[in-house]
Amino acid sequence: MKIRFQLNGQEQRLDVDGDLRALDVLREHCGVTGPKEGCGTGECGACAVWMDGVTRLSCLTLAAQLDGRDVTTAEGLATDGPHPVQAALAELGGVQCGYCTPGIVMTAAELLARDANPDRDAIRRAVSGNLCRCTGYHKIVDAVEEAAQTMRAAQEDK
Ligand code: FES
Ligand code: FES
């Protein structure tokens, strides 16, 4: 089937099997490698992307469901330099092997788009669907808190 969607601000027009997973469309047809295959069954969050600004698991989304949507991956958050969440994760040691990181970035950035000042419990709840085997989450929560502060300061400077 023919599908057309925005990916990180660029129009994509593809002719693909509508039953293909969005994860495969993005990685194999569009060449973005931010969304990762972890479990493939909706358990780990490594494949998270935004669809129309809302975090979705691309391993559970069909190619047909991309049609007409505005899709953002971790690459799309970093077009003007790293997103504050990406910068804080790198600075505070919230990235180790990095496999979970793009999914965590999408989830955390969506949280901060909705809530400029989440407390640590809200951050933990938000990232609870993103499995990280390396960090123990403490540094991830620290980084999201720091990113929230950075983003609030930037807003105040405007
Ligand atoms: S690969 Fe999609 S949730 Fe694990
Ligand atoms: S940094 Fe390795 S899984 Fe999270």
Q: Looking at 52, 77, 102, which one is the last position of a domain? A: 77
Least distant ligand from the CA of 99: 2
Residue 47 CB less than 6 A away from ligand 1: yes
pTM summary value: 0.96
Q: What is the pLDDT of residues 98-130, one digit of tens each?
A: 999 999 999 999 999 999 999 999 999 999 999
Query: Domain check: are 125 and 108 in the same one?
Result: yes
Average pLDDT over residues 29-51: 98
Q: How far, in Å, CA of 103 to CA of 60, rounded? A: 14
Query: Domain check: are 8 and 69 in the same one?
Result: yes
- B/e letters for 120-143, b = 16+ CB within 10 Å, e = fewer, are eeebeebbebbbbeebebebbbbb
Residue 57 CB less than 6 A away from ligand 1: yes
The CATH number covering residue 110 comes to 1.10.150.120
Query: Domain check: are 71 and 104 in the same one?
Result: no
pLDDT at position 62 over 90: yes
Residue 48 CB less than 6 A away from ligand 1: no
Residue 145 CB less than 6 A away from ligand 1: no
Query: Domain check: are 140 and 111 in the same one?
Result: yes
Domain range for 57: 2-77
Domain count within the chain: 2
Q: Looking at 77, 98, 121, which one is the last position of a domain? A: 77
